[in-house]
Structure 1
Amino acid sequence: MMRTDVDRHILLKEVRRIVVKVGSAVLATKDGLNPDSIDRLATQLSALIDRGMDVVLVSSGAVAAGRQRICERTRQCRKEYDDMASRQAASAIGQGRLMHDYDEAFAKHGKVTAQILLTRSGLKDRERFLNARNTLERLLEWKVIPIINENDTVSTHELEFGDNDTLGAMCLGLTGSDLFVNLTSANGVFDRNPETHPEARSIPVIDNIACLDIEAMCDGKTSVGTGGMYSKLRAARRAAQLGIPTLIVSGKGEFDILAALDGADHGTLVLPESRTVSSKKFWLAYHDDPSGAIRVDKGAANALLTKGKSLLPIGISAVDGCFERGALVFIKTLEGDELGVGLSNFSSAELERIKGKKTADLPAIIGPTSSDEAVHRDNMLLDAAI
């Protein structure tokens, strides 16, 4: 899991397009946005662009900026902003303030910014996903810095990304980037939570994040943001599946992204997996939360894991939840161990009727079907980081 013999400079010297995610814990204090942090970030990212790199910034901070604005103008500095309506209202106030501050900070370096607000429902539709990709590609051709945030004011709990670490990982496939830099309040990843375990050791390199028990390592969240190290490591694992390394590094104080890219031993480098998934499989696995689960017998589990087979109805033992055709579902063993996720070709009601049945029997049970597979292997991602 831990390595120290990786030459970061060699690994990172070919990077040409970067997604940088910065959280509220870096940009804001309890009183609101920190202009020094924004200026410092703009200076660092502008230097990367001057090196010939493309930079996509995924930024939190709208809610914090909105709360700050309310306090400044109304003197109503209440703390009861945790319900969704209040967060969305604060985001509506603060998003313009956040972009104004970014625009001015980057303008000092002759750079132009563009605001991109995304929703999970927007990326769920493949056509809209591709349209967003085309827009971002044109902005990067123009050397404009896209600043991406979730459209908090219209997102519902069921369709929100939940945190910008998740959004940042989705933007890797969206933009075709080759490095994910996650700026956090901690100086990289530790083997245990350093806030509760002072003896915790830093991890300079993670070479197999899939084998890491991140739930055991991460038992806390920051007080300002909505993520925490758990969401950052989950995002890094998703990036690794795309074949993209992740740098988890402190964005506090005099951080230096350029030095990190030049091989300085800052933070934690998460190495990519040797076997990567396609951008399409990445999209289908993470564009939505699973609506239910299909439980399979041992024979079907072995065929999925070792033979690369599609899931047939005969291998299904049980169905959990209520979902329609085309829904994203978990694929689990009968005991409940997660094997992966996939798009179901049948509704849960149909699967209840055809589970354990041979393919030849399907028309007699549910009528003519366009597919024999319950989940086709092309629409399935095993070992998904959900």
Structure 2
Amino acid sequence: MVVYRNIQNTHRPTNSSLTLVIKVGTSSICDEKTHYPLLSNLSRIVETILHLKQLGHRVVLVTSAAVGTGLRRLNLPEKPKKLAAAQAIAAVGQGRLMSTYDDLFGQFNQPVAQLLLTKNDLAQRTQYLNAVNCLEELLDMGVVPIVNENDTISVSEIKFGDNDTLSAITAGMVKADYLFLMTDVDCLYTDNPRTNPAARPVMVCENIDALRQEIKVTAPGSSLGTGGMVTKLVAADLATAAGVTTIIARGSTPENILPIVSDSAFSSSIPKHTRFVAQPQPLIDRKWWILHGLHTAGTIYIQTDIAKLIAQGAAKQKSPTSLYAHSVSKVEGNFVEHQAVRLVVESTGTVAKGIVNYSAAEIMRIMKADESNIVDSLGYTDCDCIMDSDNMAISI
């Protein structure tokens, strides 16, 4: 297993114009105790983005700190546990956060746009494509899109979970070359460097699953934020699967982004950071949307031999086999037709995710009748299989 190696051996896109997604966390732009904005950091982030744009790059900013900004405005000491109160504080803070960005970018006549998303906004294919088209149009106009989760209406069922995940989804939507996850350390370490002096920096990762076995990332994020290194690994996994090189770097020095994406990134003076290498054969847009845009409404347990066929199809870069009723061993959840479900083998875990042609109740009726003929089981048929191969995305 190769987890650590010298960064000079990595490759970067050859395009002169890159699409970059930069995610800044609450701890990078809002003081954890006073909740005052860290204007020096914010200014450096803005200046870095402007410099990148002068070099011809397209930049999307994913930002946190709506709750932190709202706490400052309302003179509250800490983030409340009550959901409605946190949503109300985010509603107060989001406007002031955007006002701060607009003021800073406005000093250089740089237009910005606000996009507030929930996972539910991307669940419908047309809405997902509308969001993609809006982002592309803004970038073509030279605008800097500023993306945040819509915390004022988000609940657990429709939340991305944290802005690390949101930034990875955004990077996949705009087909970014780089995703930068800016945090309070300069790179990923094998353990917490504050408590373990023997912790080693991880410079380059080509296999995230293998990396998880080598490191300890149990520490949560700040009291204002929702993330930590665990969520950054999840985000890197999502983004690299979409073909996006992902970087973990220090949020207080955003100017380090410039040498990382330039030719000087291959010199000995490259700032310390962690680079997750993009997958050479990324998921196509629709498969990416099925895996990461759709809410998972239930679970279908399948037989091991069918899972092997799915895995073989993935290994050979072919479409997976369609799923028929006789291959289903158990159904969980109360999903309906055209919702997304996991395909799971009990011994190995999730192997795929896809859109079903029948509801959970209908599938169980077919299973109870012990028949593969859907017409005989239900009296009608919309499709001859439970899930079409075109609507199935491999996750193994």
TM-score greater than 0.5 by the shorter chain: yes
Aligned to 1:305: 311
**Which shifted more, 334-343 or 58-67?**
334-343
**Which shifted more, 171-180 or 88-97?**
171-180
**Residue type at the aligned position of 1:7:** Q
Aligned with 1:137: secondary structure?
helix
Aligned with 1:292: secondary structure?
strand
Aligned to 2:257: 257
Q: CA deviation at 1:381?
A: 2.0
Question: Against the structure 1 CA distance between its residues 216 and 326, is the aligned structure 2 distance closer, same or farther, given a 3 Å change threshold?
Answer: farther
The reply on whether 1:52 has 2:43 as its aligned counterpart is no
Q: In 2, distance between residues paired with 1:314 and 1:357?
A: 11
**Residue type at the aligned position of 2:228:** G
Q: In 1, distance between residues paired with 2:191 and 2:297?
A: 32
Q: In 1, distance between residues paired with 2:372 and 2:11?
A: 55
The reply on whether 1:151 has 2:150 as its aligned counterpart is yes
Aligned to 2:317: none
**Which consecutive aligned stretches of 4+ in structure 1 deviate over 4 angstroms post-superposition?**
356-360
Whether the aligned pair in 1 keeps the contact of 2:79 and 2:86 (CA below 8 Å) is: no
Aligned to 1:74: none
Aligned residue pair count: 379
**TM norm structure 2:** 0.89
The reply on whether 1:335 has 2:341 as its aligned counterpart is no
**Which shifted more, 101-110 or 199-208?**
101-110
Q: CA deviation at 1:234?
A: 0.7
The reply on whether 1:273 has 2:279 as its aligned counterpart is yes
Whether the aligned pair in 2 keeps the contact of 1:354 and 1:362 (CA below 8 Å) is: yes
Aligned with 2:110: secondary structure?
coil
Please list the CA deviations of residues 98-130 of structure 1 after superposition, one character each: whole Å capped at 9, or x if unmatched. Answer: 111111211233311111111221111111221
Aligned to 1:228: 228
Q: CA deviation at 1:322?
A: 1.7
Aligned to 2:288: 282
Whether the aligned pair in 2 keeps the contact of 1:314 and 1:356 (CA below 8 Å) is: no
Question: Against the structure 1 CA distance between its residues 39 and 214, is the aligned structure 2 distance closer, same or farther, given a 3 Å change threshold?
Answer: farther
Consecutive unaligned residues in structure 2, runs of 5 or more: 314-319
**Which shifted more, 78-87 or 47-56?**
78-87
Q: In 2, distance between residues paired with 1:255 and 1:54?
A: 16
Aligned to 1:63: 67
Whether the aligned pair in 1 keeps the contact of 2:369 and 2:377 (CA below 8 Å) is: no
Please list the CA deviations of residues 338-380 of structure 1 after superposition, one character each: whole Å capped at 9, or x if unmatched. Answer: 2122212221111212239887521100122222222222222
Whether the aligned pair in 1 keeps the contact of 2:297 and 2:341 (CA below 8 Å) is: yes
Whether the aligned pair in 2 keeps the contact of 1:69 and 1:93 (CA below 8 Å) is: yes
Aligned to 1:29: 31
Whether the aligned pair in 2 keeps the contact of 1:183 and 1:248 (CA below 8 Å) is: yes
Q: In 2, distance between residues paired with 1:297 and 1:313?
A: 11
**TM norm structure 1:** 0.92
Whether the aligned pair in 1 keeps the contact of 2:371 and 2:377 (CA below 8 Å) is: no
Q: CA deviation at 1:253?
A: 4.6
Aligned with 1:371: secondary structure?
coil
Q: CA deviation at 1:13?
A: 5.0
Whether the aligned pair in 2 keeps the contact of 1:317 and 1:334 (CA below 8 Å) is: no
Q: CA deviation at 1:10?
A: 4.7
Aligned to 2:202: 203
Q: CA deviation at 1:334?
A: 3.2
Question: Against the structure 1 CA distance between its residues 175 and 80, is the aligned structure 2 distance closer, same or farther, given a 3 Å change threshold?
Answer: closer
Q: In 2, distance between residues paired with 1:227 and 1:156?
A: 17
Aligned with 2:99: secondary structure?
helix
Question: Against the structure 1 CA distance between its residues 141 and 254, is the aligned structure 2 distance closer, same or farther, given a 3 Å change threshold?
Answer: closer
Whether the aligned pair in 2 keeps the contact of 1:65 and 1:94 (CA below 8 Å) is: yes
Question: Against the structure 1 CA distance between its residues 3 and 353, is the aligned structure 2 distance closer, same or farther, given a 3 Å change threshold?
Answer: same
What's the C-alpha RMSD, in Å, of the aligned pairs? 2.2
Please list the CA deviations of residues 243-270 of structure 1 after superposition, one character each: whole Å capped at 9, or x if unmatched. Answer: 1110111112575210222212421000
**Which shifted more, 266-275 or 60-69?**
266-275
- In the TM superposition, 1:122-161 aligns within 5 A as 122-161=121-160
Please list the CA deviations of residues 181-239 of structure 1 after superposition, one character each: whole Å capped at 9, or x if unmatched. Answer: 11111211112233443321110000122433279632011223101111111111111
**Residue type at the aligned position of 1:16:** L
- In the TM superposition, 1:287-298 aligns within 5 A as 287-298=293-304
Aligned with 1:158: secondary structure?
coil
